[in-house]
Structure 1
Amino acid sequence: MAQEKFINSPYVTEMRKITRGLYQHGWDERNGGNVSYRLKPDEVNQYTDTTAILRNVPIDFDATELAGQYFLVTGTGRYFKNVYDNPEGDVGLVQIAKDGHSVDIHWGYNDGAQPTSEFPAHLMTHIKRLRVDSDQRVVMHCHPTNLVAMSFTVPLNEKVFSRLLWKMQAESIVVFPEGLGILPYMTPGTTTIGEATANKMKTFRLVLWPQHGVFAAGDSMDETFGLIETVEKAALIYTTIQAQGGHFLHEITDTDLANLATRFNLAPNPDYMMGQSLVTGQ
């Protein structure tokens, strides 16, 4: 009976809403995208019997540093459009086993599913971000259309890319003052891209996988989703400007960026605060 209560927990409710929002934005077509949500023992214990283990499945990563931690995770091969109506099949509550190389499934995946194939990359990111931010809770991977499109046309230089996104709207530097991390194109679903992403997460909360998508991290579902929304909105503005001819007559200047940082008490990446003007090209 205790197992049945977890579906009505606020954590499953959040996962259902977020995955539906990601799908409705068009960022998670088919089975693209995955989300992991770290839960605390007291949050789990009040809704489900954590002594009951449904299955144990291996993971292709040594997650010993996270042994005992609980994660609500979307399943491999699952469509986000279905999660809202079928959370018990498409999402699972797992606990990292003591051996660090497997997880105990306590709830969900009721038709035999397993955690997303990107789960090792999620765990690597959680480890790195927890060292920076003890409140780290969420990792999201999705495919924001305009941001991915920019990765085909804008130099894959973190300063250039970050400044361009900052200058598309006043909110950008406020929401991601550290800028945007960028990897070279890499094959997804591998330990290599997971390690590279996690290393970038020491500095950035959002990492672009060129020609593919993004990995984002945050303290809550709303914060992480909002981070992606803000970056994608900036990318949409850039795309719209390009469709209008790509000529900048006005811009948010470096002085404007500095004023925003002062107004909102930010510490933006100092290496990105000055650079080429969009209007003059100098």
Structure 2
Amino acid sequence: MSILNNNPALAKQVAEVAEVAGYLWQKGWAERNGGNITVNITDVVNDEIRALKPISDVMQIGTTLPHLKGCYFFCKGTNKRMRDLARFPMDNGSVIRILDDCASYEIVAEQLVLPTSELPAHLSMHNYLVGIGSNYKAALHTHPIDLVAMTHNPAFLKKDVLSKLLWSMIPETRAFCPKGLGIIPYKLPSSVELAEATVKELETYDVVMWEKHGVCSVSENILEAFDMVDTLSKSAQIYMTAKNMGFEPTGMADHLMHELKVAFNLPG
């Protein structure tokens, strides 16, 4: 029997993960097994799940995360494809429990599927979010073609240059991604160094670019995390479309973006 059967709140969150996984595949942002999703499901875990015995050995995270003691996460599996996660989420993901040492975890359901290889980065983000009392529960990593392409231009890697450019392409980007886009210079995927750098950027931004790699976003649920990346991607497409038409887009002037900030009471 699936752990989702008697837990509609958890079933809803897993269904949202599957929905977003399908979007990522359709957009071409999730080649092969590319990209990852983790959701903190601790608040919807019931007694049935808490009583489950582990189906894996104890595994090391690679770092100590003091705010995650006893937390539960639904994670996309390593080497699993987003298109398969979309169709069969419980066969291509796993539920993990963080142990009391805050440095290790065990898989408790449903298949013996190892979680994402970028688990240190994802759990580090969640540890930061729990630590500051955030209501954000979802972390998304994906590979938007347009945004990754822009990180190959050194001019866009300077602080807030890309944020201001993308904000200026369409008003919705300034409104729906008000904190902009943080940039992390290239670091080895799955490394603790990448995890630490990501957490540092989350002090200022909700969406973080990993140079020549992909995007991470965090939000209250996985749909909102996806929407922020999707909005930034739309702005990147507008910029590139104008360039392909042979002209430099003018973008919205600073005073117009400030007008939006005031009208919608936006941060930044």
Tell me the TM-score normalised to structure 1 length.
0.87
Cα drift, residue 157 of structure 1: 1.0
Letter in 2 for 1:20: G
Match of 1:69 in 2: 71
Cα drift, residue 2 of structure 1: 6.1
Match of 1:173 in 2: 174
Letter in 2 for 1:256: L
Match of 2:224 in 1: 223
Counterparts of 2:66 and 2:133, CA distance in 1: 19
Query: Residues 130 and 3 (structure 1 numbering): CA distance in 2 closer, same or farther, change over 3 Å?
Result: closer
User: Which consecutive unaligned segments of at least 5 residues does structure 2 have?
Assistant: none
Query: Residues 216 and 184 (structure 1 numbering): CA distance in 2 closer, same or farther, change over 3 Å?
Result: same
User: Which consecutive unaligned segments of at least 5 residues does structure 1 have?
Assistant: 269-282
Query: Residues 4 and 254 (structure 1 numbering): CA distance in 2 closer, same or farther, change over 3 Å?
Result: closer
Counterparts of 2:38 and 2:4, CA distance in 1: 21
* SS class of match (1:265): coil
Query: Residues 104 and 17 (structure 1 numbering): CA distance in 2 closer, same or farther, change over 3 Å?
Result: same
Does the 8 A contact of 1:183 with 1:208 survive in 2? yes
Cα drift, residue 55 of structure 1: 2.4
Match of 1:207 in 2: 208
1:105-184 aligned at under 5 Å gives the runs 105-108=107-110, 110=111, 112-153=112-153, 154-184=155-185
Letter in 2 for 1:163: K
Could you report, residue by residue, the CA deviation over 1:175-207 in whole angstroms, capped at 9, with x for unpaired residues?
122221001111111111111111111111111
The worse-fitting range, judged by mean Cα deviation, of 23-32 and 2-11 is: 2-11
Does the 8 A contact of 1:182 with 1:210 survive in 2? yes
Q: Which runs of 4+ in 1 moved over 6 A?
A: none
1:1-282 aligned at under 5 Å gives the runs 1=1, 3=3, 5=5, 9-41=11-43, 43-45=44-46, 48-53=48-53, 54-58=55-59, 59-108=61-110, 110=111, 112-153=112-153, 154-248=155-249, 250-268=250-268
Name which one, 1 or 2, has greater alpha-carbon Rg.
Answer: 1
Query: Residues 133 and 225 (structure 1 numbering): CA distance in 2 closer, same or farther, change over 3 Å?
Result: farther
Cα drift, residue 229 of structure 1: 0.5
Letter in 1 for 2:146: N
Give RMSD over aligned pairs.
1.8
Does the 8 A contact of 2:70 with 2:99 survive in 1? yes
Query: Residues 176 and 49 (structure 1 numbering): CA distance in 2 closer, same or farther, change over 3 Å?
Result: closer
Tell me the TM-score normalised to structure 2 length.
0.92
- Corresponding pairs, count: 263
Counterparts of 1:3 and 1:177, CA distance in 2: 37
Identical positions, percent = 32
* SS class of match (2:180): coil
Query: Residues 88 and 222 (structure 1 numbering): CA distance in 2 closer, same or farther, change over 3 Å?
Result: closer
